[in-house]
Structure formats: C-alpha cells, structure tokens
C-alpha cells in the first residue's frame, strides 16, 4: 500500500512514506493443518520450508524443528487446492489439501527429496578479465521514507526491491539495509535474490544456487545491518531483485519492523508478498534502501582505467579526519560514509577516522545503539562528531 502522510506512530514524522502491511488471517474457526517436514535421505527435519496454497495468502514457514501449522477456514478453499512445499536444495513437493491429515496432538511427516546442487558453468576467457568493486542499489540519506511490517505478519512474507544494475556478470558480496525500529526482541529473516522474470517483471527464479539459506538475525538494538553474501556465490547479470523474508518473531512484543527506504524513483519499484507461497504484488515506485556491494567482471583494460580513476580520486580528494566522541570517550566501530562518493570507513580502536571528502560533502556516522549523525565538510582538514545514544532525546 502506498500512502503519503505527515506522521507515524511513536515519533516517525515523514514527508513521503510507503507502508507495507502484511496481515495474517484470523484464526477463529480455522482448521489446523500441521506437520513436520523431513529429509527423505537423512530423516532429519528441514527448517524454514515455505508452505502454503499458491497465491491465496495462506502460508507459513516450518520452524527450526521442521514443524508447521497451516490454518485454513473450512469451505473457503477449492477442494482441488494443493499445498506447496518448497525449500532451497530440495525438490518442490505438492500435496492435495484433501490428502493432508487433520490430527489433534501429532505432527504427520512430510518428506522432501534433496536435489543435486549443480555448480554454475564457469566461463573461461582469454580477454584478461577480472573483478572490480561496484556498488548498486539505494540508500537513505536522512529522508523520512520507510517501509514496514506491522502486527502479525504471516511467516514467509517478503519485502523486495528491484536493484538496477548495468549488464555484466557480477558476484554479490555484501547486502546492507537500515533498521529504523524493531519492537521484537529479535527477528529471523532470510535474504532472497531473484531474477525479475515473473509476470510484470516480478520476482520469480531464485538466483541463490548454493542450496544454502542466507539467514540474518535482527536484534532490537541493530541499526545498520551488513550481510555477507560471498559464501553463497550468487551471480547476476543486469537487474535483479533482493528481498527480506520473515521466518521467526521472538519475544513478547508485537511485530513492528521499520526499515529505511529511498525516495528515489525506481522504474521497477518494490514488491511484497503477504505470506509464504502467496502472489507478489507491486507496492510502490519507490525502493527500499537496499544497498549491495558487488564484484563486477570487466576487461583488464577497463579494470586498469578503474584503478587509475580510484588513484586519481584519492590523490585529488581532500582527506577529512577526526574522532567519534561520546562524553569524552572515543567510540570505536562507527561506520562513516561520504554520501556523495558512497565510500565508507570504520573508526579504529581510538575512535579515529580518515576519509576522502570535498567541501560541502555530507558525512554520516552510524553505529548500533547510536543515532545517525551527519556532518557537513568545511575547509578544515579535521572534524569531530559527537555521538548520541539511541535513547537520548
């Protein structure tokens, strides 16, 4: 849902915001189709399997023990409806709903067959190609723009954004997003990467061929989150879609996860899914502030030009240095980003940073448990920033 408003609950004023509401269905008078998903070969439970009736908004995710509860109101589904089970590294399982037993205190077993993980073809070239660092995606630069999940989102619900990227083979190395608010003690999310090959350029084919899930746990104090994608060897060519999927909510607090978004227009936009196995819906022309560090394969000639450009930029740029300080104490591990160049450094054990920046550039300082601070670069070669705890007024 796309809305424009001037306020949001608990002190989140904004100019433009899009709200992603993922509601689960009421459980009143519903039948509990439950079970446990098992590996056919090993006999072990399969955690975090997507389970649901395709494109009906009825879905869930198995827990760490492979157990699940799928609530369905009698008479609301086609008797020929099928329940779909899907998981990375396993063949998709489809079972007619009439064949799923309804039991009271047991978990019927559902077995899934593992698939052989095939390595992507390696393209060998004699052109002397190599990888260079290239950032793609969107960032929030202090705009009050955000997307959020609120109330009891159905497990398997996703919030996705299309990342615009020039054509070329690139490996995804790190994924970054910003948490503005999290009411839960912790949340378990899964990062998914898709091809935009669905109807209307919506997400469809999962590009993570490793057979391994990309998990990330969000604690209440987390603000800036970086996810290491290198172990999964995810390669893309051109535009791709990246999403965050809800797998678990922990603690007594209700779900309210607010993520930073970008005000920049995106021709492909953002998408959301209400529940596991549900249909994708386009929610906005704006993008979530999903930012990805990648390694782009280029010719040696282009790589050399890139190296020279980086070297010239570093020589030409004014270098700003200083300290991140809190009550006279130097703060280690603060992420310092130049909004213009996107270059990022981290303060050392003495709270010191040094980063290339020109006059009037804006530096942002981020660390878990602290407010995001901004500093405008002047003619002076040094600049200190006073950090403020998140709970401070």
Integer CA distances (angstroms), 66 to 43, 193, 203, in order = 11, 23, 26
* Strands 291-298 and 214-219, sheet pairing: unpaired
Helix (H, G, I), strand (E, B) or coil at 58: strand
Spatial contact of 259 and 148, defined as CB atoms under 8 Å apart: yes
Architecture of domain 317-386: Sandwich (2.60)
pLDDT of residue 1: 29
Measure CA 35 to chain center: 29
Fold match, 31-112 / 317-386:
yes
Q: How many Å from the N-terminal Cα to the C-terminal Cα in the chain?
A: 31
Which residues in the chain land under pLDDT 70?
Answer: 1-29, 117-128, 151-153, 314, 317, 392-393
- The DSSP letter of residue 206 is B
Model confidence pLDDT, tens digit, residues 113-150: 999 765 555 555 555 688 988 999 998 877 888 888 87
Residue of 19, 286, 3 whose CA lies nearest to 150: 19
pLDDT of residue 391: 72
pLDDT of residue 139: 86
Q: How far apart are CA 56 and CA 77, in angstroms?
A: 9
Q: How far apart are CA 152 and CA 253, in angstroms?
A: 11
Percent helix, strand and coil across the chain, each rounded to 5? 5, 45, 45
Give Dmax over CA atoms of the chain in angstroms. 73
Residue of 123, 34, 29 whose CA lies nearest to 76: 29
To the nearest 10°, the Cα dihedral for 304, 307, 308, 310? 160
Spatial contact of 187 and 250, defined as CB atoms under 8 Å apart: yes
pTM over 0.85: no
Helix (H) or strand (E) holding 300: helix 300-316
Q: How far apart are CA 232 and CA 173, in angstroms?
A: 9
Q: What residues does each domain of the chain span?
A: 2-22+122-298, 31-112, 317-386
Spatial contact of 223 and 269, defined as CB atoms under 8 Å apart: no
Q: Report the top-level CATH class of 31-112.
A: mainly beta
Return the residue matching tokens 């270059």.
343
Spatial contact of 206 and 192, defined as CB atoms under 8 Å apart: yes
User: What are the φ/ψ torsions at residue 217 (nearest 5 degrees)?
Assistant: -100, 125
- The DSSP letter of residue 316 is H
What residues are paired with 146 via a beta bridge? 260
Integer CA distances (angstroms), 90 to 37, 85, 116, 209, in order = 11, 9, 8, 11
pLDDT of residue 29: 64
Q: How far apart are CA 222 and CA 234, in angstroms?
A: 25
Q: How far apart are CA 62 and CA 213, in angstroms?
A: 14
The sign of the dihedral angle between the CA atoms of 136, 142, 145, 149 is positive
Write down the number of H helices and E strands in the chain. 1, 29
């Amino acid at each position: 849902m796309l809305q424009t408003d001037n306020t949001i609950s608990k002190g989140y004023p904004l100019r433009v915001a899009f709200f992603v509401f993922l509601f689960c269905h009421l459980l009143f008078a519903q039948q509990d189709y439950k079970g446990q998903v098992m590996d056919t070969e090993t006999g072990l439970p399969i955690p975090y399997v997507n389970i649901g009736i395709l494109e009906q908004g009825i879905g869930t995710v198995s827990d760490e023990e492979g157990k699940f509860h799928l609530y369905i109101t009698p008479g609301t589904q086609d008797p020929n409806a099928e329940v779909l089970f899907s998981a990375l590294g396993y063949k998709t399982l489809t079972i007619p709903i009439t064949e799923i037993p309804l039991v009271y205190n047991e978990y019927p077993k559902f077995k899934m067959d593992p698939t052989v993980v095939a390595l992507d073809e390696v393209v060998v070239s004699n052109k002397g190609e190599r990888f260079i660092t290239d950032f793609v995606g969107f960032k929030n630069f202090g705009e009050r723009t955000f997307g959020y999940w609120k109330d009891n989102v159905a497990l398997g619900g996703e919030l996705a954004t299309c990342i615009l990227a020039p054509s070329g083979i690139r490996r995804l190395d790190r994924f970054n997003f910003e948490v503005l608010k999290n009411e839960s003690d912790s949340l378990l999310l899964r990062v998914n990467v898709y091809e935009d090959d669905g109807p209307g350029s919506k997400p469809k084919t999962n590009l993570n061929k490793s057979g391994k899930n990309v998990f990330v746990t969000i604690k209440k104090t987390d603000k800036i989150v970086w996810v290491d994608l290198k172990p999964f060897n995810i390669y893309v060519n051109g535009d791709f879609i990246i999403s965050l999927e809800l797998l678990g909510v922990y603690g007594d607090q209700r779900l309210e996860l607010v993520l930073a978004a970008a005000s920049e227009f995106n021709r492909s936009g953002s998408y959301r899914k209400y529940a596991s196995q549900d249909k994708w819906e386009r929610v906005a022309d704006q993008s979530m502030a999903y930012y990805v560090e990648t390694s782009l394969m280029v010719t040696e000639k282009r790589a050399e030009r890139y190296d020279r450009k980086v070297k010239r930029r570093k020589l030409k740029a004014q270098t700003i240095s200083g300290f991140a300080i809190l009550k006279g104490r130097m703060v280690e591990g603060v992420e310092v980003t130049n909004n213009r160049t996107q270059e990022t450094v981290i303060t050392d054990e003495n709270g010191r940073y040094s980063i290339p920046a020109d006059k009037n550039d804006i530096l942002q300082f981020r660390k878990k448990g602290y407010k995001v601070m901004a500093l405008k670069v002047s003619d002076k070669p040094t600049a200190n920033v006073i950090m403020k705890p998140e709970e401070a007024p």
